[in-house]
């Protein structure tokens, strides 16, 4: 190796060491590209603010509490809509394959902005109760449901589930995202729910 080649190797090695030493400072000045995966989180937590102890065996005219939350990882602040819906076992949920929402009418809704990134979350408590239930031979019908102190008429029947020995309903939440191009909300293909046993 001649002197000129030695100088080239020494200069290249020095440059690499300088870049490695300066990397933490460069991160503050030069914006490095973020990951390209953009998504939103939607969750429901039980009354103790954990993913457990959800209301299940429902007593009529009692009030129950859960928490609903959204996390934003979309790369910018986002405007969200959460629909609260109620169904029996045979009524349709959202279709995750086609990204279509459930055709059931929403009972309650939340609209809110969430900043992007770490700490970009929104969460709120939701209270609910079943106020009117009619019993028939092998079916029941929920007539009224209370959500956040507002009464909704639902008139939703359910047949006896012989596999699980009971009458079951679901309170579920759909996430929608505002599209600035169309200037409207679109289903964001996220939903969560809790099962409710109306047998008692």
For residue 112, give the nearest of 122, 125, 99, 98 by alpha carbon.
122
pLDDT of 146 above 60? yes
pTM of the model: 0.80
Mean pLDDT for 88-113 is 96
> Per-residue pLDDT tens for 165-183?
999 999 999 999 999 999 9
The fraction of the chain above a pLDDT of 90, given in percent, is 74
């Amino acid at each position: 190796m001649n002197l000129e080649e030695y100088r080239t190797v020494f200069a290249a090695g020095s440059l690499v060491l300088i870049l490695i030493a300066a990397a933490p400072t460069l991160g503050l000045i030069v914006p490095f590209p973020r990951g390209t995966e953009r998504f939103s989180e939607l969750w429901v937590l039980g009354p103790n603010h954990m993913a457990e102890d959800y209301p299940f065996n429902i007593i009529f005219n009692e009030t129950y509490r859960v928490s609903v939350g959204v996390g934003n990882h979309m790369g910018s602040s986002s405007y969200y809509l959460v629909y609260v819906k109620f169904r029996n076992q045979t009524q349709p949920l959202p279709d995750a394959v086609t990204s279509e929402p459930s055709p059931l009418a929403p009972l309650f809704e939340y609209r809110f902005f969430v900043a992007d990134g770490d700490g970009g979350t929104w969460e709120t408590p939701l209270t609910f109760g079943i106020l009117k239930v009619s019993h028939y031979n092998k079916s029941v019908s929920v007539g009224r449901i209370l959500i956040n102190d507002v009464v909704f008429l639902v008139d939703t029947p359910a047949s006896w589930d012989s596999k699980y020995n009971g009458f079951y309903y679901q309170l579920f939440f759909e996430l929608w995202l505002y599209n600035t191009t169309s200037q409207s909300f679109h289903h964001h293909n996220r939903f969560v729910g809790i099962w409710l046993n109306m047998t008692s």
